[in-house]
Amino acid sequence: MHNIQIAASQIVQQVMLDGRNLNQILDASLRKKSVWTAAQRAALQDLSYGTLRYFGQLQGLLSLLLHKPLSDDRIRYLLLVALYQLQYSKAAQHAVVDHAVKSAQMQHVKVSGLVNAILRNFLRQQTELLQQVEQRAEAKHNHPQWWIDELENQYGAISTAILAAGNQHPPMTLRINQRRGSANDYLEQLAEQQIGASIIEPDAIQLEKPVGVDKLPGFIEGLISVQDAGAQYAATLLDVQDGMRVLDACAAPGGKTAHILERTTVELLAIDKDDKRLQRVMENLRRLGLSASLKAGDAAQPDDWWDGEPFERILADVPCSASGVVRRHPDIKWLRRRADLAGFAAQQLNILQALWRVLAQDGKLLYATCSVFQQENEQVIAAFLSQYPDARRLPVALPDNSTGQLLPNDRHDGFFYSLLQKAS
C-alpha cells in the first residue's frame, strides 16, 4: 500500500503544481507499473481521483492540523492522500497511518514522526475537525471559490445541488448500437451475466455498478458503447435523416459520430484538430462496424478542409470548460480559472461563425458543450444570434427543460444544446 500511496501523491502533486491532466499522468504511471495487479491499479486510480474529488475538504483539514506550513510538497500531498483514505476508504485506519509513515521514510524525508502525529491527531479529533472545516466554502463544496460564486450567481439556490453532483461518482451508461440490437435484448444479456442495469432512454442503459468493458457482453463486437446519457441526446436533437450530408466538427473521441451513424445512413465527415484523438475516432468506428470520412482540421478554419459542398446537418461539440463533467474529471475544477471562461467563449463563437458558412440553406446546426456556465452557453448563442439575422433558434426536446441546459444528476452529466437553423 505504501507504494500506491507514494504513486498517488506524486500524481496529485503533478496535477496541482504542474497543471497536468490527471488521466494522462495516471495512464503513464500505470504503464510504468505493468507488474501491478488489477487491484493495485484500481487502488491507485481511486486514491488519485478521490483525493482530487475531495481536495477542498482535505486541504482544509490539513491546514487545521498543521501548526506551520510544510516545506516539502511530497509530504503535503502524501498527507492529503492518507487523509482521503482515513475519511473515505474502507482501509484499516492503523494500516493507512503505518503505510504513510513508511512512505515518508522511503522518500528519505525525516518527518515520519510528524506524519504519524498529524494522522493520529486527525483520527482523535475527526468529528470536531470536520465540523470546523465545513465553515469554509471550498472545503464544504470541494470546488474553488470562484466556481462556487459563479454557480450561485447563475443558478441561485440550486447551485448547491450542482456542486454536490460534481462530487459524486458518475454513473456508467451504455449506448446500444441500434444496427446490432435493442436495449431490451441487451438487458437480457446483462442479466445472464448478473450485471444489474435498467433502461433510462431508448438507446441508453445505466448499470447499477460500473464494470470493466471486458466484462460487458458484446463490447468488442460492437454491440454497445460507453457514453453518458446526456451526451446521447446530441444524435437525436440534430434531426439527421437518411441520405444527408453531415459534419461532426469537433469529433474526437467519436461517441457522437458513431451514434449518428448507428441511427442513420448518411455521408458523414468527422474532423478534429488532434491527429491522435482522430485515431480514437477511427478505432471506435472500426469496433462498431461503421465508416465515415475523417480529416484532421480546425473547425474554425474551414478553408483547410472543406470541399465547398454545404452540409445539411452540423454537430458543433465545441471545446469548453468541461464544468458539467467534473465528477468524471475532478482535476478540471482545480485547474480551471475564471478567466478561462471568456477564452472558451471567444473560441466557441469563432467556431460557430466559421461553421455557419458551410451550413446549407434550411440546414440545422447543433451547438453543444459539456458546460454548466452561461458564459459558454446562453451568452454565446445570444451573441451569435445578434450577429446573424438568417439564424433562428429551434426548441430542443429534453427531459429536464426546453432551454437546452442539462444539469448533472444521477442519470446524466451536465450538457448544453442549442439547435440553430439557417433560414432560406
| Residues designated as active site | 370
Using CA atoms, how far apart are residues 403 and 99, in angstroms rounded to an integer? 51
Provide CB contacts within 8 A for 311, sequence distance 6+.
Answer: 245, 246, 247, 269, 358, 359, 360, 363
- The three-state secondary structure class of 293 is strand
Question: What nine digits make up the cell of 68?
Answer: 506551520
Q: Tally Cβ neighbours within 10 Å of residue 45.
A: 18
Q: Using alpha carbons, select from 342, 354, 344, 233 the residue that is nearest to residue 305.
A: 354
Angstrom distances, CA of residue 319 to CA of 249, 340, 372: 11, 11, 13
Which of 223, 189, 231, 228 has its CA nearest to residue 206?
228
- Burial environment of residue 397 by CB neighbours within 10 A (0 to 12, 13 to 18, 19 or more): exposed
Give the integer Cα–Cα distance in Å for 245 and 201: 27
Please, are residues 363 and 313 in contact by the beta-carbon 8 Å criterion? yes
- Dist. CA 297–CA 282, nearest whole Å: 15
Where do we find the cell 479529533?
A: 125
Question: Which of these, 219, 150, 222, lies nearest to 179 by C-alpha position?
Answer: 222
Q: Which three cell numbers stand for residue 40?
A: 493495485
- Distances 62 to 19, 129, 331 between C-alpha atoms, Å: 21, 10, 19
* C-alpha to C-alpha distance for 224 and 183, rounded to whole angstroms: 10
Evaluate the CA torsion angle 336, 339, 342, 346 in order and state its sign: negative
Taking every pair of Cα atoms in the chain, the longest distance, rounded to a whole number of angstroms, is 75
Close Cβ partners of 20 (under 8 Å, ≥ 6 residues apart): 14
